[in-house]
Structure 1
Amino acid sequence: MNIAIILAAGNSERTNGVNKVLYQISKKPLIYYTIQVFEDHPEIQRIILVIKKNDFLKFNLFTKKHSFKKVKGITFGGENRQISAFNGLKMAEKSGAKKGDLILFHNGVNPLVSQKEISKVIRGAKEYGAALVAQPLKDSLKKGKKNSFVEKNIPRENLWLAQTPQGIEYNLAKKAFEKAQKDKFHGTDDVSLVERIGGKIKIVSCSHKNFKITFEEDLEIAKKLLENQDA
């Protein structure tokens, strides 16, 4: 079984308080587009939503309105993304996740992920235990000093921008998150916890359209792309 955990409990601190996941595009909240990709994917059996507690009523009504049949659980986020992802993993366990199942962690604000990218992560994680989509770095990378002057150029060969989904075999994910919690370790993403306990992680390339919406200008770009997709 393949279970998608969609993380939608962020605080939208860098979009001037605009709730990104509920931002309206073509009369639908942004999160609709994210969920729909996984709902339509033939290899995804279940979807778990991780949301802010204050958004529960909105999400409950929204998922019923759009008849998302694969949404099998809604749980609440924690004080950071890692805790939210762990809460989602616990909900997946309650919904029947077991050894050998695949968990796909995905940002709710990455609505432009493609079905092909999801499939590639599933294949990679099934073969290696963990996989993520990422974009080859295309820009020059500089290391700066504290005074904002360039210290040195960093070669971009073999450097990737990590995106989601990030797929991890269920038992491996549980072990990695439990170890991180015990050690009070906070990783920058889900597969970093697997890397920390010696797991192998497969990188699969993804389109630059699959980006995390962080700033207000990202919202405008995503809006135009999704509106064109709807047209």
Structure 2
Amino acid sequence: MIRVDQKTAAIVAAAGMGTRMGAGISKQRMRLGGKTILAHAVERLCASGMISECVVVVPAGELALYEDLVRQLCNEEDVPIQCVEGGENRMASIRRGLEKLSEEASLVLIHDGARPFVSLDTIRDCVDKAAQTGAAVAAVAAKDTIKVAAADGVVESTPDRSRLFLVQTPQVFRRDWLEQAHRLAEENGWDATDDSALIERLGHRVYLVKGSYFNLKITTPEDMVMAEAILAAIAPAIGKSTSKEQGGTV
């Protein structure tokens, strides 16, 4: 059931061509366990009961193909889903997704179309935290030591690992904050690799929510190998909220 206190619209970022994958098709259309990577991601968002609508931002020139894919999704919650072609970069693509949303939603959830294993708990926790604070993103603690290096490879510093987190999606924000952030980014030429960085530039606090190490973003062929292993491990729990599915956390 959709929460009645405030509606949350989802934007799924799936406009990238996935050149690092080297598969000849956009990575979101690659198959994993009998369905596309994108299908896994969108179906789990719809199954969460937390979103009132979903816009999938797709590669330019592939709109009809993705509209056909979306029609085949398992969508028992009957969430309205539509597709829109993306822009020249991620920020432009998210702006196009925002323009496609209806007026009813006061929160916007952004999710990578190449993250097929987002847990239902993570989706719900991010939405609940954003409803309280205005901005919430899934994240996990960094396991490896991180180095800051110059262009020539010389190490410049080693940040304190205990304060470092790997940010994932979903990322959920107040709609007015997100629209303002993207408007200013377009006007001032700001660039960012995720939307939370734009919210931070406005001076708003962004809160971390417990994510999962299973919530892998598939980018390279090595990631597909790991994704197949993850799918085998959590297949019995797909669509359910379980402690096994959660894996490692912040």
Give the TM-score of the pair, scaled to structure 1. 0.92
5 Å-filtered alignment, 1:19-168, equals 19-66=26-73, 68=75, 69-92=78-101, 95-98=102-105, 101-168=106-173
2:194 corresponding residue in structure 1: 189
Deviation readout 1:203-225 (Å, 9 max, x if unpaired): 11211111211111102211232
Higher mean alpha-carbon deviation, 30-39 vs 9-18, is at: 9-18
Contact 2:55-2:97 at 8 Å conserved across structures = yes
CA displacement 1:50-88 (0-9 Å, x = unmatched): 001332222222222235331332111111111111111
Distance 2:174 2:217 in 1: 23
CA contact (8 A) 2:28 2:114 kept: yes
Amino acid at match of 1:78: G
**Does the CA-based 8 Å contact 2:130-2:173 persist in structure 1?**
yes
Q: What is residue 248 of structure 2 aligned with on the other side? A: none
Q: Which runs of 5+ in 1 are unaligned?
A: none
Q: Quote the RMSD (CA, aligned, Å).
A: 1.6
Structure 2: gaps of 5 or more residues? 1-6, 237-250
| Secondary structure in 1 matching 2:98 | helix
Q: Establish whether residue 218 from structure 1 lines up as the match of residue 227 from structure 2.
A: no
Q: Rate the CA distance shift 1:132–1:58 in 2: closer, same or farther, 3 A.
A: same
Find the partner of 1:6 among 9, 12, 21: 12
Deviation of the 1:199 alpha carbon? 1.0
Q: Where has structure 1 moved over 4 Å in runs of 4 or more?
A: none
Q: How many aligned positions are there?
A: 227
* Cα distance in 2 for residues equivalent to 1:221 and 1:158: 26
- CA–CA distance in structure 1, aligned partners of residues 108 and 39 of structure 2: 20
Q: Does the Cα contact within 8 Å between 2:37 and 2:115 map onto a contact in 1?
A: no
